[in-house]
């Protein structure tokens, strides 16, 4: 019976092996992505800035109340185009100003009479030339004081000092203006500039004459103009420096319109660019997924300047390679992918 013992394990193994089914291979994960092409081209360090139009130096003048007065009528509200000398508002004197006018008129009449008396006395040799000059100066001062009150006959028309557009008129009929208070400003037509806020460090790299592309927020066709000035002083509110440009009259813009602009603050260079959406970051490590033969491989890259929706790649890619632009955050190195649609340029 001993010769049968070695066969027992073989029989058991054969019995176990005959009943086992082979395991099915797990399917490979496949991700859907969109891709773009790494292209050779030029790139530059372009900066986008925002600002607004404003009257140029000397292109805006104030309309000032000469004395305390009450607004009777607004003739030309904010936004009205006016000619030089055109009435903007009608004023009437306040009670205080009426008293001032009466006193100034009385003082002017008295000073005029004193001057006339001094002239008669000088003709008779009773006073000196110095006395006559003193009386003349007093009369001139009194008349100037009366004239500076500016309201005669119970009414005054405040007029535009220059041709342009009325701005900043917020008062209404019945409001009282203090002496010297500004009722409105008039911005001259055809003398318009724009001021853009910029990071102070970047502003140091901008110079007068440098080209800048501007357009309105609502999408007006952009215009290419030149920088006319740079103010490095930091605005206390925005913490930005200021860049100024002259606005061409052909753009038909008014003061106070918001603008955006793009200017190049670095030299152009030729290299490889990819869609900005393809660039990924992991704790300071810049990388992309390159697709080849249906497989996405992670590759470290060195990014450079950006321009619009593309960014320069200094190292890590070759022209013509496909990079993942959508779906990259869900990928793992070596994962199989299928591309949706055409490759983005």
Q: What is the pLDDT of residues 96-146, one digit of tens each?
A: 877 777 787 888 889 889 999 989 988 888 889 898 899 899 888 888 877
Helices (H), the chain: 7-18, 95-123, 129-149, 200-203
Q: State the pLDDT at residue 229.
A: 92
Task: pLDDT band for 163, please (50, 70, 90 cuts).
Answer: confident
- pLDDT over 70 (residue 218): no
List the domains of the chain with CATH numbers.
30-45+268-339 (2.40.420.20), 47-57+191-264 (2.40.30.170), 66-180 (no CATH)
The two three-digit tokens of residue 166, written as one number: 């009325």
Crossing angle of helices 129-149 and 95-123, rounded to 10°? 160
Q: State the pLDDT at residue 345.
A: 52
Q: Cα separation of 273 and 284, whole Å?
A: 20
Q: State the pLDDT at residue 1.
A: 42
Strand partners, 211: 226
Least confident of 81-95, 225-239, 269-283: 269-283
DSSP string, 56-90: PTT-EEEEE-SSSEEEEEESS-TT-EE-TT-EEEE
Residue range 310-330: mean pLDDT, rounded: 90
Smallest Cα–Cα separation from 342: which of 14, 16, 34, 18?
34
Residue 132: CA count within 13 A, CB half-sphere = 12
Residue range 58-68: mean pLDDT, rounded: 84
pTM > 0.75: no
Q: Cα separation of 182 and 152, whole Å?
A: 20
Are the CB atoms for 168 and 185 separated by under 8 Å? yes
């Amino acid at each position: 019976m001993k010769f049968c013992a070695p066969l027992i394990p073989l029989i058991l193994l054969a019995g176990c092996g005959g009943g086992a089914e082979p395991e099915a291979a797990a399917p490979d994960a496949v991700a859907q992505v969109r891709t773009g092409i790494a292209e050779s081209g030029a790139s530059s360090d372009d900066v986008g800035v925002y600002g607004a139009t404003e009257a140029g130096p000397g292109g805006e003048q104030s309309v000032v109340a000469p004395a305390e007065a009450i607004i009777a009528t607004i003739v030309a509200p904010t936004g009205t185009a006016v000619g030089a000398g055109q009435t903007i508002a009608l004023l009437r004197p306040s009670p205080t100003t009426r008293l001032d006018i009466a006193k100034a008129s009385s003082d002017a009449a008295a000073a005029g009479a004193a001057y006339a008396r001094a002239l008669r006395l000088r003709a008779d040799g009773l006073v000196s030339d110095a006395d006559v000059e003193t009386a003349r100066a007093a009369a001139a001062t009194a008349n100037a004081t009366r004239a500076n009150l500016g309201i005669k006959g119970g009414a005054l028309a405040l007029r535009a000092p220059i041709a342009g557009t009325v701005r900043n008129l917020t008062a209404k009929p019945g409001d009282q203006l203090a002496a010297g208070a500004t009722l409105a400003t008039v911005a001259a037509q055809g003398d318009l500039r724009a001021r853009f806020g910029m990071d102070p460090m970047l502003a140091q790299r901008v110079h007068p004459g440098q080209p800048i592309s501007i357009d309105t927020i609502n999408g007006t066709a952009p215009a290419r103009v030149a920088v006319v000035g740079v103010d490095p002083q930091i605005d206390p509110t925005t913490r930005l420096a200021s860049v100024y440009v002259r606005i061409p009259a052909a753009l038909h813009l008014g003061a106070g319109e918001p603008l955006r602009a793009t200017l190049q603050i670095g030299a152009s260079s030729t290299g490889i660019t990819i869609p900005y959406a393809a660039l990924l970051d992991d704790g300071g490590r810049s990388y992309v997924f390159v697709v080849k033969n249906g497989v996405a491989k992670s590759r470290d890259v060195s990014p450079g300047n950006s321009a619009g929706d593309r960014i320069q790649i200094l190292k890590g890619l070759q022209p013509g390679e496909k990079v993942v632009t959508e779906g990259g955050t869900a990928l793992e190195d070596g994962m199989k992918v299928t591309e949706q649609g055409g490759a983005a340029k």
